[in-house]
Amino acid sequence: MPSLASPVLQFDESQLEHINQRLATMQPAQILDWAHVTFDGLFQETAFGPSGNVISDMLNTQGISVPVIFLDTLHHFDETLDLARRSQQRYGFKLHVYKPDGCADRAAFVAKHGDELWKHNDTVYDYSVKVEPARRAYSELRARAVLTGRRKSQKGDRATMQVVEIEKGTGLIKINPLANWSFQQVWTYLRAHEVPYNVLLDQGYKSVGDYHSTRPVKEGEDERAGRWAGSEKTECGLHKDYFAMRAAFLASQKKQNSSIAVSAA
């Protein structure tokens, strides 16, 4: 299998395809072991959803120490923040928490961006709470590759994802060890291994994001149906094209600044 461990990424699409063909036959624990021995600068990026919790437990079981990046949007459920603390205590990983630039808490975010920004400008909100903090984390921590909990069974843009993906433009490597697992497999693992999980799952939630855009899932609905219900949105921007997100953010900011200038004239 071609190595991905060189300082500069030097393999083509055919080699990436070969790597994914090999990894597709492996169990998640084997994929995690492969990632650990292959990459320097390996991190787990998680919002402590069910899949992320499974990965944390698998890493711990295998004696693999991987630091964790948690993007605190300042709009998480209290239950999510509590789970982050419980998970860190259980597994002892080094936890790197990144918040929106210049905002220590929700009040500071509102003071900077206004109230309910997600309603007024979803693009600026996603960029401010997820995309920019993530990019800052990758840069400051020198992250080369990140483990994510994304799965094909979550559908939407994730339905066709591979175990290993390379972010266009940035070269960041995203490894999805549970890509081929179902929600039921995740849930069974959580219960069988007594893995800490978000208590909101016991209240009908399956995918938990920010409090203002997450609801319990109804019987028969897809796993992520409770996220951004009533809209066509399926991703927060973290797994979208970074440069497209940044361009959209800058264009929105420019438009807003122009409107303010006209109003002040």
250 Cβ neighbours under 8 A, 6+ residues apart: none
| List 55, 83, 137, 236, catalytic entry | 236
Cβ atoms of 240 and 134 within 8 Å: the answer is no
What per-residue string of b and e applies to 6-34 under the rule 16 or more CB within 10 Å gives b?
eeeeeeeeeebeebeeebeeeebeebbbb
Helix (H) or strand (E) holding 124: helix 122-126
How many other β-carbons are positioned within 10 Å of the β-carbon of residue 54? 24
Beta bridge partners of 204: none
- How far CA 60 is from CA of 21, 96, 189, in Å, comes to 26, 17, 14
How many other β-carbons are positioned within 10 Å of the β-carbon of residue 252? 15
Cβ burial, residue 259 (10 Å; 0-12/13-18/19+): exposed
Our answer to whether residue 103 is catalytic in this structure is no
> What residues are annotated to the active site?
236
